[in-house]
Structure 1
Amino acid sequence: MPPVQYADVNGVHMAYYEVGPREGMPVIFCHGFPELAFSWRHQLRAFEAAGRWAIAPDQRGYGLTKGPDAVQAYDIEHLTGDIVGLMDHLGIEKAVLCGHDWGGIVVWQAPLYHRDRIAGVIGLNTPFMRRAPVDPIAIMRARMGDEMYIVHFQKPGEADAVLNANVRKAMDFFMRRPAPGEGAASAGLASERTGEESVFPLVRMVQAYDPAVDPRPFFLSDDEFEAFVETFERTGFTGGINWYRNMTRNWERSANLDEMVRVPSLMVMAEKDAVLPPSAADGMEANVPDLERVLIKDSGHWTQQEQPEAVNAALLDWMGRHFPK
């Protein structure tokens, strides 16, 4: 990673990493849960080699960016506002935003909240999602049960305590490739429950997890894995979980938003992502009319780290055609 820098933006002291010349269209990389700016190390290296300006922040509540205590300080207005505040700090009028997992939600929502500041959007794994007809937590609770991880995350402190109790085990559970032949059903991630059991009861799964018998291969080196473990042992998981605890608030406050993403966009799908499969992006063109898609083969959920060369090639090709240097 390049040297860490800091900016006081939108009420937080934000850590960020920057590469490339300060010219042309910059790209800001937004990580997901439970990740860090470090998750974009391969992309920063590739963009620097290509002479592209790129920035990756530790977002609010993660890594070296300490977040406020108040849960409501992690809503989508704050999260998108942090990115625009970082742009202001760097003197950037417009940027392309690239987000993975929860960062994907941030970058798809950013042009709805800050239309004049976003030049383009790249979503990794996470598609644009229209506003639900009712509270999304109520939908998930009815369809997937009380222990489905996003529903469970709504209980203050409970999931945090389980994940914080053994960060090494939790990160070992998260940071693996899919097992050979693994799909949504075999991973226990079917879209709806068929009995009393909840879908994807992550907290219970982590509690019962034994790394010694996990057949899924690693995609991190030992040093990379230790970087994640050491960071989350220091910070805990509450900051990231607080993003989930604002899903109802985000839904309530977005009733009057125009849901059209009116900038050039790229959707990068991962062939073997059981949580956000390629089919999740079906129908996006209705809200994202200037959309291209690319499928990354043989990748699970952690696409930019599992298949960095394929991801880098797709991102740089799209940037070269839409925002040439």
Structure 2
Amino acid sequence: MAVFTSVSLDDVQAWIAQFPLGDAVALKGIASGIENSNFFLTTELDGRRTEYVLTIFENLGFEQLPFYLQLMRHLAMRGVLVPEPVPTRAGELCVPLHGKPAAIVSKLEGSSQMAPGPVHCAAVGAMLAKMHLAGQDFPLHQPNLRGIAWWHEATPAVLPHLTEQETHLLRSEIHYQEAFHGSDLHKRLPQGPVHADLFRNNVMFDGARLTGFFDFYFAGCDTWLFDVAVTVNDWCVDLDTGVLDEARVRAMLDAYHAVRPFTADEQAGWQCSLRAAALRFWLSRLYDLHRPREAEILTPHDPTHFERILRERVAHPAPRLFA
């Protein structure tokens, strides 16, 4: 999240009339993240105030957004804890604001758990498995827009900014992932809608109780194993070294496996998927650092964090998915 597009409370007060939410009484920009403009929006209807999240989409167009917004509604209707988009009186989930697509979704309770223990990782693993199963019958399809096709597009843009060692790592890992993604093993991996960005700051907790997943705007269809790898690479690592904490890894994988058992093919592709997940975020952070966009509030992420994680995954195998 970030703020690229300026919006005033006066702007929103006129715009929100198309929603059955009452009057807009407060608006506050959200500083975290780097993709869209996000705001906490407070409305008042019949004397009751309710807080929502307003998102203005900076990169996604009207033709792409139905996948994300309808996926969230689909999951919410099946008991997965996600924000639910609020339709307009005409039933639209996304309408223009300052000429850009915008949507309102419900605000989750709780706060992000930035120092997770095994209990938090187990809760995330179980809910992620539930999310994957709930998405099996989702009728829309969109590829992971930050998958291997994007890696090929982004690599030439960042290579001029890299050291010799970084260049070697990036080129060699791209070749490794090309072989993996083209293999029969990869084709056999279970697939469906994935969150693809389930970091600590995209999950809410109230104590040890998980209250929801949010920020689905990198979602797409990919292997479920890639989604698990993205999640493990953030929730289960030492942030200074990228080394996996086996207790947290085991808690997350065991909880996931209890809801949606991993397959033998997933066991075989696990190490490759962890490397793919690390490469995806190293490359995107390099791209965002060296090809920045202007924003009123923008906090770029350090790409070296995922470079460390990638090197660690190459050098040391992670715990197995299951015994």
Normalised by the length of structure 2, the TM-score is 0.23
Normalised by the length of structure 1, the TM-score is 0.23
Largest Rg, 1 or 2: 2
